Chain A
Amino acid sequence: MSKKVLVVDDDENTVKFLSVALSENGYEPVGAYDGEEGLQKAEETNPDLILLDVMMPKRTGFVLFKQLRRHEKFKDIPVMMLTGVADVLEEDESQAEGDTFERPYDSLRESLKKAIKKMRDEGLERPEKFMDKPIDPDELIVAVKELIGEP
């Protein structure tokens, strides 16, 4: 049985082409369009990997991520977060927090960094991987393989 990958993104185009890329590479994609649906689908399908968009209406990616991490059943499922600002978040946190970064007014980055720091303070594992948008399907597949191995 092939490995299941849950894709949670409010943009149906993203869900669509990621699903195509995953299935082309032998994985079994499961799509969800918001946080609530994502949690429900995770319950139903018990995926091997979750691709999670950070900014979504109703329940943001981070809220869902924290719920998953706190959930006994899902806490060990690796999570790849999809965001436009992954480049920053992949940096070493201690360095990033040292205000050495040149764009202090970038509120989106700031709020994401804060959210990650808060998560760490709560003792939660940070997401296994951040993937920057626009997503290159080939890069994605490489990253998926790194996280959960071949389908």
Chain B
Amino acid sequence: MLKTPPLVWKVNGVFLAILVCVLGVSALVTNQLHTHAALASARDVSRVSSGIILQDIRELMVMGETMRVDELLERLATDSPIYRDIRLVTHDGRVAASNLDSPGTVVDQAAWPCSHCHGVDSLAGDSTAGVFDDIIELEDGERFISVVIPVFTEPGCATAECHTEPAASSTLGVLQVDFSLGGVEDHIAQSASHIRIALLLSVLFGALATWWLTDRLVGRRLRALRDGAQHLADHDFDFRFGHSRGDRISQVEGILDNVTSELSSTISELSSTKEYLQGILESSGDIIITVDPFGIITTFNRGAEEILGYTRDEEVGKHIETLFADPRERDVAIDQLQHTHHVVNYQTHFLAKDGEVRNVILTLSRLHAPDGKPIGTFGISKDVTKELQLQREVFRSARMAALGQALTGIQHTIKNMLNVLKGGSYMVKTALAKDDRQMLAEGWEMVQQGIANMTEMSKSMLDFARERPLDLKPTDLGGLAQRILTLNNGEFEEQDVTLELEVAPDLPSVDCDPELIHSVVMDLLSNALYACAEKHFREEERPLVSIEVHQGEVEGYVSIVVSDNAEGMPDEIRRKVFTPFFSTKKKKGTGMGLAVVARIVSTHGGMTRVESEPGLGSTFEVLLPIAGPSVREEDADV
């Protein structure tokens, strides 16, 4: 690559070019003027000299010493080399006297000087013609000024012996003096050479002066500017240009000073922010790792060192893949990251240095440069190995507790039923012994009741355990609730409990198993009715059970809410209502109703909620997805 010449060189080059042009043109003009002036004065002098020569000739002629004219001319030519030739040409074109041509030589009258007065084609002369001259250049390059003075007839000429011209002719001929231009041209050449030298010197001096000036005025300043900028480039933010001269370069320096100050404070802010972030990064107990777009680890914090056992030096520069216990899990995370740009709480496994696998909850986000270009990935992982162990233990305990509770519940329920059966059969036995028909009937009734209770329980248990695929149909839940209301109103009225129904307009139909949802609502209603019957209402209070069907708080769900204003229940009971065999209905319930409700609802992909305020009542809410259960839930059996 060509190195760009410095700016000052360019400026100098331009200056020099301008200087050469200007000086060159002036030299040319000067030379032309000088040449012109030299030739003009040579002409003037030639004319004057020619006049004097003619005067001398005329005097000689007037004095009758015609023959001395030749002598004069010869002497003049001999004395001064400036005279190339002095000749006298008669009007009829013959050479009367000449230093070059012999007398009698006839000149070409169509050529100069004859043509000056007579024209080329005509010999008709112009009698008014005076002195004239011209610069003649010969074929060999010799140049001379030829001055021609017409010689007119003087009184007495007609009688002079030297004349052949008729007396009527006013013009005798011409005196032609050829002045050699050799001297003048030498002078001109010398001048031109002087001008060339002067031009060369001026250019040289001008160039030097320009060089010196541009360097002093611009070059040095630019170098200082460059050096200052170099300080900036070398991260020396303490450097300042300082003083100002008020010119453009100073303005640039001022701007650079300001930029440096701002940069300096920004950098110090950045560095404190960086330290702050570094502090957070380092003090975090979680694993924080960043990788570049190629998956190479670029940050490995202390938390990562402590949890995984590797040192930072070991891990930075390695591929992140090596940390995953199962590379497929990494692929899943990366896949998700590519689709959604972040991964939240992805449970995965890291391989620690000691070979142990650590359970971690991983959150990934893409890092982008301000221009949107991906620069890597930021990952923060929480080590949940201990928590998961603990959770597993808790789950196991809870499962055992639930099992224990269920077993106790079953045992309790069975004992209560057996109690009724035992009591009933005792009464039957006693009645038979006493032949007491009344007691027999009562005892028999008790036995029947015991059998009915046991039948109901076994049916509930079957319902709970039974495998039955959902029979999904688009169902109008409002209509379903209305039918239930119609069916049950009588029973509620009998017990003096008001039953209300409120259905929101424009509800979408819900994909569900209407028979099962019917049984769910029925179960909730019967619970509410039982609760109302159990409560001693104050006089101004009326037992009330309401069903509401409306759009669920969760989008895409429809909600069925059954509430009562009965006793409600304390938290410890509320928490257990959906547990199998948990019952507060004493000997009357199987403890399976709400467990079956919860099971049906969850199989529909829905949710069951209960809220209760002791003394004020309970509210059960069933949320069902409008679109029905997802495929996975549908596959499960009730």
* Neighbour of A134 across the interface among B400, B405, B421, B449, CB < 8 A: B421
A16 touching B442, Cβ below 8 Å? yes
Q: Is the CB of B408 within 8 A of A107?
A: yes
**Contact: B586 with A55, CB < 8 Å?**
yes
Please choose the segment from A6-14, A40-48, A67-75 that sits at the chain B interface, where 4 or more of its residues have CB less than 8 A away: A6-14
| Complex contacts, B584 vs chain A, CB 8 Å | 57
Is there contact, CB below 8 Å, between A135 and B419?
A: yes
Known: A11-B587, A84-B415, A105-B401. A137 touches B534 (CB 8 A): no
Of A17-25, A118-126, A142-150, the stretch lying at the interface with chain B is A17-25
A13 contacts across to B, CB distance below 8 A: 419-420, 423-424, 446, 449, 587
A108 to chain B, nearest CB (A): 5
Asked whether A17 and B443 contact (CB < 8 A) given A55-B586, A106-B404, A108-B408, the answer is: yes
CB–CB A84/B412 < 8 A = yes
A105 close to B400 (CB less than 8 A):
yes
Question: A residues within 8 A CB of B442?
Answer: 16
Is A133's beta carbon under 8 Å from chain B? yes
B310 within 8 Å of A (CB atoms): no
Chain A neighbourhood of B446, CB < 8 A: 13, 16-17
Whether A108 contacts B412 by the Cβ 8 Å rule is yes
Q: In the assembled complex, which residues on chain A have CB atoms less than 8 Å from the CB atom of B424? A: 13, 17
Q: Are B408 and A136 in contact (CB under 8 A)?
A: no
Q: Are A17 and B404 in contact (CB under 8 A)?
A: no
CA distance A8 to B223 in the complex (A): 111
Residue of B nearest to A24 (CB): B430
Contacts of A17 in B (CB 8 A): 422-424, 426-427, 443, 446
Is A20 a contact of B586 with CB atoms below 8 Å? no
Alpha-carbon distance A97/B400, docked complex (angstroms): 20
A84: which of B405, B416, B420, B439 is its contact (CB, 8 Å)? B416
Residues from chain B with a CB closer than 8 A to the CB of A103 are 404
Is B29 interfacial (CB-CB < 8 Å)?
Answer: no
Q: B500 to chain A: closest CB distance in Å?
A: 26
Contact B423 A18 (CB under 8 A): yes
Alpha-carbon gap, A105 to B398, bound state (A): 9
Interface bin, chain A: 20 to 34
CA distance A85 to B420 in the complex (A): 17
Nearest residue in A to B442 (C-beta to C-beta)? A16
Asked if A11 and B405 make an inter-chain contact with CB atoms under 8 angstroms apart, the answer reads no
Chain B residues whose C-beta falls within 8 Å of the C-beta of A135 in the assembled complex: 419, 422-423
CB B541 to nearest CB in A, in angstroms, measures 17
Chain B 583-599 per-residue mask, 1 if CB under 8 angstroms from chain A, else 0: 01011000000000000
Q: How many residues of B contact A (CB 8 A)?
A: 30
A85 to B414, CA, bound (A): 12
Q: Is A116 an interface residue (CB 8 A)?
A: no
CA distance A135 to B408 in the complex (A): 18
Chain A contacts of B418 at CB under 8 A?
133-134
Q: Mark B493-527, 1 if CB is under 8 A from A, else 0.
A: 00000000000000000000000000000000000
- Flag if A84 contacts B411 (CB, 8 Å): yes
Q: What's the nearest-Cβ distance from chain A to residue B315, in Å?
A: 46
Closest to A53 in B: B586
CA A132 to CA B405, docked complex, whole Å: 19
> Which residue of the partner chain B has the closest CB to A55?
B586
Proximity string of chain A (79-107) to chain B, C-beta cutoff 8 Å, 1 when within and 0 when not: 00000110000000000000000011111
> What residues of A have a CB within 8 angstroms of the CB of B427 in the complex?
16-17, 20
Interface membership of B403, Cβ < 8 A = yes
CB < 8 Å: which of A11, A107, A136 contacts B416? A11
Report which of A14, A106, A109, A136 forms a contact with B420, defined as CB distance below 8 A: A14
Select from chain A the residue with minimum beta-carbon distance to B422.
A134
- C-alpha gap A128/B512 in the complex (Å): 56
Contacts of B416 in A (CB 8 A): 11, 84, 133-134
* Chain B min CB distance to A62 (Å): 15
Residues of B390-445 at the interface with A, using a CB-CB cut-off of 8 Å, are: 400-401, 403-405, 407-408, 411-412, 415-416, 418-424, 426-427, 430, 439, 442-443
Q: Which residues of A contact B420 (CB under 8 A)?
A: 11, 13-14
User: Complex formed: what's the CA distance from A137 to B416 in Å?
Assistant: 14
- How far is the CB of B414 from the nearest CB of chain A, in Å? 9
A56 at the B interface (CB under 8 A): yes
Q: Which of B404, B405, B439 has the most CB of A within 10 A?
A: B404
B534 to chain A: which residues have CB within 8 Å?
Answer: 57
- Specify the chain B residue showing the minimal Cβ separation from A140: B426
- Which residues of B are found within 8 Å of A133, using beta-carbon distances? 415-416, 418-419
> Which of A17, A56, A57, A106 has the largest count of B CB atoms less than 10 A from its CB?
A17
Given A57-B586, A107-B408, A108-B412, A14 and B419 contact (CB-CB distance below 8 Å): yes
Residue of B nearest to A15 (CB): B423
Alpha-carbon distance between A129 and B386 when the two chains are bound, in angstroms: 48
Give Cα A148–Cα B579 distance, bound, in whole angstroms.
42
Bound-state Cα–Cα, A11 to B401, Å: 28
Contact A16 B415 (CB under 8 A): no
Pairwise interchain contact A134-B426, C-beta atoms closer than 8 A: no
- The closest CB in chain A to the CB of B584 belongs to A57
Q: How far is the CB of B527 from chain A (nearest CB, A)?
A: 14
Identity of the chain A residue whose Cβ is nearest the Cβ of B423 in the assembled complex: A17
Instruction: Point out which of B407, B419, B449 has the most chain A C-beta atoms below 10 A from its C-beta.
Output: B419
B388 to chain A, nearest CB (A): 23
CB neighbours (8 Å) of A109 from chain B are 408
- Bound-state Cα–Cα, A18 to B430, Å: 12
Give the complex CA separation of A7 and B461 in angstroms.
Answer: 32
> How far, in angstroms, from A24 to B443 measured CA to CA in the complex?
14
Residues of B within 8 A of A16 (CB): 423, 427, 442, 446
B-side contacts of A21, CB under 8 Å:
426, 430
The one of A20, A55, A105, A106 in contact with B426, judged by C-beta atoms closer than 8 angstroms, is A20
State in angstroms the CA–CA spacing of A23 and B426 once bound together.
Answer: 13
Write out the residue numbers on chain B whose beta carbons fall within 8 Å of the beta carbon of A56. 586
Q: In chain A, what residue has the closest Cβ to B398?
A: A105
Kindly provide the distance from the CB of B296 to the nearest chain A CB, expressed in whole angstroms. Answer: 52
Which residues of chain B are within 8 angstroms of A132 by Cβ–Cβ distance? 415
Tell me the complex Cα distance, A55–B422, Å.
19
- Between A20, A57, A105, the greatest number of chain B beta carbons within 10 A of the residue's beta carbon is seen for A105
CB of B385 to closest CB in A, whole Å? 27
The 3 closest A-B pairs by CB, nearest first: A105-B404, A17-B423, A134-B418
17 A-B pairs in the complex with CB atoms less than 8 angstroms apart: A10-B587, A13-B419, A13-B420, A16-B442, A17-B422, A57-B534, A57-B584, A57-B586, A105-B400, A105-B403, A107-B408, A132-B415, A133-B416, A134-B415, A135-B419, A137-B423, A137-B426
Q: Given contacts A14-B419, A24-B430, list 4 more A-B pairs with CB under 8 A.
A: A103-B404, A105-B404, A132-B415, A134-B416
Q: CB within 8 Å of A: which residues of B?
A: 400-401, 403-405, 407-408, 411-412, 415-416, 418-424, 426-427, 430, 439, 442-443, 446, 449, 534, 584, 586-587
